[in-house]
Structure 1
Amino acid sequence: MNPVIENNFKYHAPQPGQPEIYQEIRDKAKELAYLIDEKAPNSREKSLAMTKLEEAVMWANAGIARN
């Protein structure tokens, strides 16, 4: 068995305090999303920036959950 695979593909129930951290990360990302939406012209690049921001939030929260 590979412990990294086992950890990455299991459910991680939120520990005390984690939901608040997840929300804080989402709130900051939303603030940046609004800035990007306001300042960047509608384009493929803007769409990619928004997608990558969503990915950053997902990976940050996964990092907290998994570790």
Structure 2
Amino acid sequence: MDFKNKCFSPECINQAETEYCPACLAKGGIKPYVNEQFENNFKYHSPKEGQPERYQLIRDKSKELAYLINGNCPNSREKSLAITNIEQAMMWANASIARNE
């Protein structure tokens, strides 16, 4: 689908590249839905005061657990998945801080 005409009116001659085409909206065009969570999740979140230290704490504890599992579990698909899931948990925990503060 071509999203250059954001009013989604196939008859639009304005080829609006803004949030919606005012001319087509006045004729019954549809204003696109904006998902606020998507807007937040897919933007850059610059670190705020105190956050980098908390990110590092989460990374350090995640690494500690990864070493524990690596040293105590036999090499296997399950071990690889456990370490992958630690990485995911670390990233999601840090995203939680970045996205919601």
* Superposition TM-score tier, normalisation by shorter sequence: over 0.9
Name the structure 1 match of 2:52. 19
Name the structure 2 match of 1:43. 76
Q: What TM-score, normalized by structure 2, do the two folds share?
A: 0.65
Q: What TM-score, normalized by structure 1, do the two folds share?
A: 0.98
Structure 1 or 2, whichever has the larger Rg, is 2
Relative contact order, higher structure (CA 8 A, sep 6+): 1
What is the root-mean-square deviation of aligned Cα atoms in Å? 0.4
| Unaligned stretches of 5+ residues in structure 1 | none
2:41 corresponds to which of 1, 5, 8: 8
Distance 2:76 2:43 in 1: 37
The number of residue pairs the alignment matches comes to 67
Distance 1:2 1:54 in 2: 27
| Unaligned stretches of 5+ residues in structure 2 | 1-33
Distance 1:65 1:8 in 2: 9
Distance 2:35 2:74 in 1: 45
* Runs of 4 or more above 3 Å deviation: none
Q: Which residue identity lines up with residue 6 of structure 1 in the other structure?
A: E
2:94 corresponds to which of 56, 61, 66: 61
Q: Which residue identity lines up with residue 13 of structure 1 in the other structure?
A: S
Distance 1:64 1:28 in 2: 16
Larger relative helix fraction: 1
